[in-house]
Amino acid sequence: MASRNVEKLVSIDAQLRLLAPAKVSEDDKLVEYDALLLDRFLDILQDLHGGEIRETVQECYELAAEYEGKYDPKILDDLGKVITSLDPGDSIVVTKSFSHMLNLANLAEEVQIAYRRRIKSKKGDFADESSATTESDIEETLKRLVGQLNKSPQEVFNALKNQTVDLVFTAHPTQSVRRSLLQKHGRIRNCLTQLYAKDITPDDKQELDEALQREIQAAFRTDEIRRNPPTPQDEMRAGMSYFHETIWKGVPQFLRRIDTALKNIGINERIPYNVPLIQFSSWMGGDRDGNPRVTPEVTRDVCLLARMMAANLYFSQIEDLMFELSMWRCTGELRVRADELLRTSRKDAKHYIEFWKRIPPNEPYRVILGDLRDKLYNTRERVRALLADGWSEIPEEATCTNVEQLMEPLELCYQSLCACGDRLIADGRLLDFLRQVSTFGLSFVRLDIRQESDRHTDVLDAITKHLDIGSYKEWPEERRQEWLLSELRGKRPLFGPDLPKTEEVADVLNTFHVISELPPDNFGAYIISMATTPSDVLAVELLQRECHVKQPLRVVPLFEKLDDLNAAPTAVARLFSIDWYKNHINGKQEVMLGYSDSGKDAGRLSAAWQLYKAQEELVKVAKQYGIKLTMFHGRGGTVGRGGGPTHLAILSQPPDTINGSFRVTVQGEVIEQSFGEEHLCFRALQRFTAATLEHGMHPPVSPKPEWRALMDEMAAVATKEYRSIVFQEP
Write the pLDDT tens digit of every residue in 683-716: 999 999 999 999 999 999 999 999 999 999 999 9
Specify the pLDDT at position 374: 93
**3-state helix/strand/coil string of 134-155:** CCCCHHHHHHHHHHCCCCCHHH
- pLDDT surpassing 60 at residue 9: no
Q: Return the number of other C-beta atoms located less than 10 Å from residue 318's C-beta.
A: 21
Whether 215 and 242 have beta carbons less than 8 Å apart is answered as no
pLDDT 10s digits, 26-59: 445 678 888 899 899 999 999 999 999 999 999 9
The H or E element spanning position 448 is strand 446-452
Specify the pLDDT at position 670: 82
- How far is it, in rounded angstroms, from Cα 595 to Cα 427? 42
Q: At what angle do helices 248-263 and 678-697 cross, to 10 degrees?
A: 50
- How far is it, in rounded angstroms, from Cα 710 to Cα 66? 48
Specify the pLDDT at position 233: 81
Q: At what angle do helices 431-440 and 403-419 cross, to 10 degrees?
A: 160
Closest CA to 297 of 390, 180, 410: 390
Report which DSSP code applies to 677.
Answer: S
Report which DSSP code applies to 227.
Answer: S
Higher per-residue confidence, 325 vs 361: 325
Q: At what angle do helices 503-517 and 296-324 cross, to 10 degrees?
A: 20
Catalytic residue among 49, 600, 628, 679: 600
- How far is it, in rounded angstroms, from Cα 276 to Cα 268? 20
Backbone phi and psi for residue 592, each to the nearest 5 degrees, phi listed first: -105, 140
- How far is it, in rounded angstroms, from Cα 642 to Cα 509? 33
pLDDT 10s digits, 348-386: 544 444 544 555 668 899 999 999 999 999 999 999 999
**Among residues of the chain, what percentage have pLDDT more than 70?**
89
The H or E element spanning position 447 is strand 446-452
Whether 306 and 520 have beta carbons less than 8 Å apart is answered as no
- 206-221 in b/e burial notation, b at 16+ Cβ within 10 A? eebeebbbebbbebbe
Specify the pLDDT at position 124: 57
Catalytic residue among 172, 185, 375, 561: 172
Q: Return the number of other C-beta atoms located less than 10 Å from residue 50's C-beta.
A: 13
- How far is it, in rounded angstroms, from Cα 444 to Cα 664? 18
pLDDT 10s digits, 500-553: 999 999 999 999 999 999 999 999 999 999 999 999 999 999 999 999 999 999
Closest CA to 689 of 657, 644, 650, 639: 650
- How far is it, in rounded angstroms, from Cα 198 to Cα 445? 40
Q: Is 172 a catalytic residue?
A: yes
Residue 162 corresponds to which amino acid? N
Residue 678 corresponds to which amino acid? E
Q: How many residues in the chain? A: 730
- Say if residue 322 is exposed, middle or buried (CB neighbours under 10 Å; 0-12, 13-18, 19+): buried
Specify the pLDDT at position 644: 72
pTM for the model stands at 0.86
